[in-house]
Amino acid sequence: MISYLRGQIKHKSVIPKKDNFVVIDVNGVGYKVFVLDKLINEIKIGDELELYIYTQVAETVLDLYGFKTSPELNFFELLISISGVGPKSALGILQKAKIEDLRAAAQSGSAAALNTISGIGPKTAEKIVTGLKDKLGALASDSPVTWSEDFGDALEALVGLGYGASQARDALAKCQSQESDEKIKEALKYLAGSKK
């Protein structure tokens, strides 16, 4: 079972709304590893990269999922331990939500907000929130976030307009407005200003 890789990036795939991956050359062998979009944006072909790996082995699948830090991998494994959440779903959730935000969602029991942000069904969202609450216990978030349905609606709208999930989330975190429509307007002003 592969649990760690270090090598040179030979290829990276960045296709909107598709699974992002890198091909990492380790001693002449190329490994295709699915990664978070924030990592794709940080790296260049030819860079040296080390990744903590989760290996998915199924009847017709042998996929690798890579993370820059061990805590990211640990949280990913926590998500996939919840019934109804597979590796691709878990990666999709981590694309759009910070670990601290997910902890806050679990603590507040905000399944509706998680459903909006991750794009999964309400039953699975409920399972995730319940599962995380059970597994995380009373673990406090390092950076509490107000996680509301309006936040999720606003994030989804900005991603629909072509902004990256991380970029949109960071802009929304700076907004003072509480209502979804106002949050979107405020975030758009911030995003427009950041392009200048």
Q: pLDDT tens-digit profile of 89-118?
A: 888 888 877 777 777 777 777 676 666 655
Structure tokens at 54: 């989760």
Spans of the chain, pLDDT less than 70: 1, 15-18, 110, 112-121, 134-153, 155-156, 159, 164-166, 169, 178, 194-196
Predicted confidence (pLDDT) per residue in 4-18, tens digit: 899 999 999 876 556
What pLDDT does 143 receive?
A: 39
User: What is d(CA 196, CA 190) in angstroms, rounded to the nearest whole number?
Assistant: 10
Q: Are 55 and 62 in contact (CB under 8 A)?
A: yes
| Number of neighbours of residue 64 by Cβ within 10 angstroms | 20
Give the closest residue to 97 by CA, choosing from 155, 49, 40, 39. Answer: 155
Q: Where are the domains of the chain?
A: 4-68, 71-136, 149-194
Q: Which residues contact 163 (CB under 8 A, 6 or more apart)?
A: 171, 191
3-state secondary structure of 49: strand
CATH match of 149-194 with 1.10.405 = no
User: What is d(CA 104, CA 124) in angstroms, rounded to the nearest whole number?
Assistant: 17
Architecture of domain 4-68: Beta Barrel (2.40)
Element of type H or E holding 87: helix 87-96
Q: Return the residue matching tokens 């969602």.
A: 105
Spell out the CATH class of 71-136.
mainly alpha
